[in-house]
Amino acid sequence: MSTPTPLFVALALAAVVIPAAGQQAGHHLTGQTRPGAPAQAAALPLTAQEATVVAVPPGATETSVFMTLRNAGNTPVTLTGARSPLAGHTMLMKTQRDARGRTGMTAVKTLTVPARGTLTLSPTGDHLMLMDLTRPLKVGETVRLTLGAGPGRSLNVDAVVRKP
Ligand SMILES: [Cu+2]
Protein backbone atom coordinates (compact mmCIF):
# COMPACT_ATOMS: atom_id res chain seq x y z
CA MET A 1 0.00 0.00 0.00
CA SER A 2 2.94 2.39 0.59
CA THR A 3 4.81 1.70 -2.71
CA PRO A 4 3.46 4.71 -4.76
CA THR A 5 5.63 7.16 -2.83
CA PRO A 6 8.43 7.57 -5.48
CA LEU A 7 5.86 8.32 -8.20
CA PHE A 8 4.15 10.86 -5.95
CA VAL A 9 7.46 12.64 -5.38
CA ALA A 10 8.18 12.77 -9.12
CA LEU A 11 4.78 14.31 -9.84
CA ALA A 12 5.20 16.84 -7.07
CA LEU A 13 8.56 17.95 -8.50
CA ALA A 14 7.11 18.29 -11.99
CA ALA A 15 4.29 20.40 -10.61
CA VAL A 16 6.80 22.76 -9.05
CA VAL A 17 9.21 23.01 -11.98
CA ILE A 18 6.75 23.73 -14.80
CA PRO A 19 5.00 26.80 -13.34
CA ALA A 20 8.32 28.22 -12.16
CA ALA A 21 9.70 28.16 -15.71
CA GLY A 22 6.62 29.89 -17.06
CA GLN A 23 6.79 32.57 -14.41
CA GLN A 24 10.42 33.34 -15.12
CA ALA A 25 9.72 33.90 -18.80
CA GLY A 26 7.37 36.76 -17.97
CA HIS A 27 9.31 38.19 -15.08
CA HIS A 28 9.90 41.95 -15.43
CA LEU A 29 8.92 41.93 -19.08
CA THR A 30 6.28 44.25 -20.43
CA GLY A 31 3.84 43.90 -23.27
CA GLN A 32 6.30 45.68 -25.52
CA THR A 33 8.56 42.65 -25.65
CA ARG A 34 7.65 40.25 -28.41
CA PRO A 35 8.21 36.53 -27.95
CA GLY A 36 11.45 35.50 -29.61
CA ALA A 37 13.02 38.95 -29.31
CA PRO A 38 16.69 38.86 -28.27
CA ALA A 39 17.30 38.86 -24.53
CA GLN A 40 19.05 42.23 -24.77
CA ALA A 41 15.85 43.81 -26.06
CA ALA A 42 14.07 43.22 -22.75
CA ALA A 43 11.95 46.32 -22.59
CA LEU A 44 11.85 48.61 -19.61
CA PRO A 45 8.47 50.16 -18.75
CA LEU A 46 10.05 53.60 -19.14
CA THR A 47 9.40 56.49 -21.47
CA ALA A 48 11.59 59.57 -21.78
CA GLN A 49 10.27 63.07 -22.42
CA GLU A 50 12.10 66.27 -23.31
CA ALA A 51 15.44 64.49 -23.49
CA THR A 52 18.05 67.20 -23.85
CA VAL A 53 21.81 67.26 -24.21
CA VAL A 54 23.07 70.69 -23.17
CA ALA A 55 24.95 72.42 -25.99
CA VAL A 56 28.54 73.28 -25.04
CA PRO A 57 31.21 75.33 -26.85
CA PRO A 58 33.66 73.55 -29.15
CA GLY A 59 36.50 72.18 -27.06
CA ALA A 60 34.31 71.36 -24.07
CA THR A 61 34.84 67.78 -23.03
CA GLU A 62 31.70 67.16 -21.02
CA THR A 63 28.04 68.11 -20.85
CA SER A 64 24.84 67.33 -18.99
CA VAL A 65 21.72 65.43 -20.02
CA PHE A 66 18.24 66.25 -18.78
CA MET A 67 14.91 64.47 -19.28
CA THR A 68 11.85 63.22 -17.49
CA LEU A 69 11.61 59.46 -17.15
CA ARG A 70 8.20 57.97 -16.51
CA ASN A 71 7.85 54.45 -15.11
CA ALA A 72 4.58 52.75 -16.10
CA GLY A 73 5.49 49.63 -14.12
CA ASN A 74 4.52 48.54 -10.65
CA THR A 75 8.12 48.16 -9.48
CA PRO A 76 10.88 50.78 -9.26
CA VAL A 77 13.46 50.81 -12.07
CA THR A 78 17.04 51.32 -10.94
CA LEU A 79 19.27 52.91 -13.56
CA THR A 80 22.82 51.62 -13.28
CA GLY A 81 24.51 53.60 -16.04
CA ALA A 82 24.33 54.96 -19.55
CA ARG A 83 26.36 55.01 -22.71
CA SER A 84 26.49 57.05 -25.89
CA PRO A 85 28.62 56.88 -29.03
CA LEU A 86 29.54 60.52 -28.34
CA ALA A 87 30.93 59.96 -24.85
CA GLY A 88 33.99 58.11 -23.66
CA HIS A 89 32.08 57.43 -20.49
CA THR A 90 29.09 58.72 -18.59
CA MET A 91 28.25 59.45 -14.99
CA LEU A 92 25.03 59.37 -13.01
CA MET A 93 25.00 62.43 -10.79
CA LYS A 94 23.08 63.85 -7.87
CA THR A 95 23.03 67.54 -7.00
CA GLN A 96 23.21 67.83 -3.25
CA ARG A 97 23.44 70.59 -0.71
CA ASP A 98 26.30 70.35 1.77
CA ALA A 99 26.34 71.37 5.45
CA ARG A 100 27.16 74.98 4.52
CA GLY A 101 24.23 75.18 2.14
CA ARG A 102 26.34 75.02 -1.01
CA THR A 103 25.20 72.79 -3.81
CA GLY A 104 27.50 70.40 -5.58
CA MET A 105 27.42 67.34 -7.77
CA THR A 106 28.20 63.86 -6.56
CA ALA A 107 28.58 60.79 -8.75
CA VAL A 108 26.24 57.99 -7.74
CA LYS A 109 26.06 54.33 -8.71
CA THR A 110 22.32 54.30 -9.36
CA LEU A 111 19.30 56.52 -9.88
CA THR A 112 15.81 55.16 -9.32
CA VAL A 113 12.60 55.80 -11.22
CA PRO A 114 9.83 55.09 -8.70
CA ALA A 115 7.02 52.65 -9.51
CA ARG A 116 4.21 54.47 -11.36
CA GLY A 117 6.21 57.66 -10.96
CA THR A 118 8.78 59.89 -12.58
CA LEU A 119 12.44 60.77 -12.22
CA THR A 120 13.36 64.23 -13.46
CA LEU A 121 16.91 64.77 -14.61
CA SER A 122 17.44 68.54 -14.39
CA PRO A 123 20.08 71.24 -13.88
CA THR A 124 19.21 71.46 -10.20
CA GLY A 125 18.72 67.80 -9.41
CA ASP A 126 19.69 64.34 -10.54
CA HIS A 127 21.22 64.24 -13.99
CA LEU A 128 23.42 62.36 -16.37
CA MET A 129 26.78 63.60 -17.62
CA LEU A 130 28.51 62.74 -20.87
CA MET A 131 32.27 62.75 -20.30
CA ASP A 132 35.17 62.72 -22.76
CA LEU A 133 33.04 63.89 -25.69
CA THR A 134 34.34 62.33 -28.88
CA ARG A 135 33.47 65.34 -31.08
CA PRO A 136 31.81 68.77 -30.88
CA LEU A 137 28.02 68.75 -30.55
CA LYS A 138 25.81 70.60 -33.01
CA VAL A 139 22.72 72.42 -31.75
CA GLY A 140 19.64 70.57 -33.00
CA GLU A 141 21.32 67.22 -33.64
CA THR A 142 20.02 64.03 -32.10
CA VAL A 143 22.23 62.01 -29.77
CA ARG A 144 21.52 58.37 -29.06
CA LEU A 145 21.74 57.43 -25.38
CA THR A 146 21.31 53.96 -23.94
CA LEU A 147 20.24 53.85 -20.31
CA GLY A 148 21.06 50.60 -18.53
CA ALA A 149 19.08 49.10 -15.68
CA GLY A 150 20.93 45.90 -14.89
CA PRO A 151 21.80 42.86 -16.98
CA GLY A 152 19.91 42.77 -20.27
CA ARG A 153 17.69 45.74 -19.45
CA SER A 154 18.15 48.98 -21.34
CA LEU A 155 16.29 51.89 -22.88
CA ASN A 156 17.37 53.81 -25.97
CA VAL A 157 16.67 57.52 -25.78
CA ASP A 158 17.18 60.01 -28.61
CA ALA A 159 18.11 63.30 -26.99
CA VAL A 160 18.30 66.63 -28.82
CA VAL A 161 21.20 69.03 -28.36
CA ARG A 162 19.77 72.31 -27.09
CA LYS A 163 21.19 75.54 -25.72
CA PRO A 164 20.63 75.86 -21.97
CU1 LIG B 1 26.99 67.01 -13.36
| CATH code, residues 40-162 | 2.60.40.1890
DSSP string, 77-118: EEE-EEE-TTEEEEEEEEEEE-TTS-EEEEEES-EEE-TTSE
Residue boundaries of the structural domains of the chain: 40-162
Cα 121 to ligand 1 centroid, rounded to whole Å: 10
Buried/exposed code over 98-118 (b: 16+ C-beta within 10 A; e: otherwise):
eeeeeeeeeeeeebebeeeee
Rounded to the nearest angstrom, the distance between the alpha carbon of 63 and the centre of ligand 1 is: 8
Whole-number Å distance, alpha carbon 107 to ligand 1 midpoint, is: 8
- pTM of the predicted model as reported, rounded to 2 decimal places: 0.72
| pLDDT given for residue 39 in this prediction | 45
Closest C-alpha among 26, 28, 20, 17 to residue 151: 28
- Distance from residue 123's CA to the centre of ligand 1 (Å): 8
Centre of ligand 1 from the C-alpha of residue 102, in Å: 15
For residue 50, the CA-to-ligand 1 centroid distance in Å is 18
Q: What is the identity of the amino acid at 143? A: V
Q: In angstroms, what is the span from residue 157 Cα to ligand 1's centroid?
A: 19
Distance CA 85, CA 39 (A): 22
Distance, CA 49 to ligand 1 centroid (Å)? 19
> Residue 164 Cα, ligand 1 centroid: separation in angstroms?
14
Q: Residue 119 C-alpha to ligand 1 middle, in angstroms?
A: 16
The whole-angstrom separation of Cα 38 and Cα 78 is 21
CA of 11 to the centre of ligand 1 (A): 57
How many angstroms is it from 82 CA to the middle of ligand 1? 14
pLDDT per residue rounded down to tens, the chain (164 residues): 555 555 555 544 444 444 433 333 333 333 344 444 444 445 799 999 999 999 999 999 999 999 999 999 999 999 999 999 999 999 999 988 888 888 888 999 999 999 999 999 998 899 999 999 999 999 999 999 999 999 989 999 999 999 98
Q: What is the CA radius of gyration of the chain?
A: 22
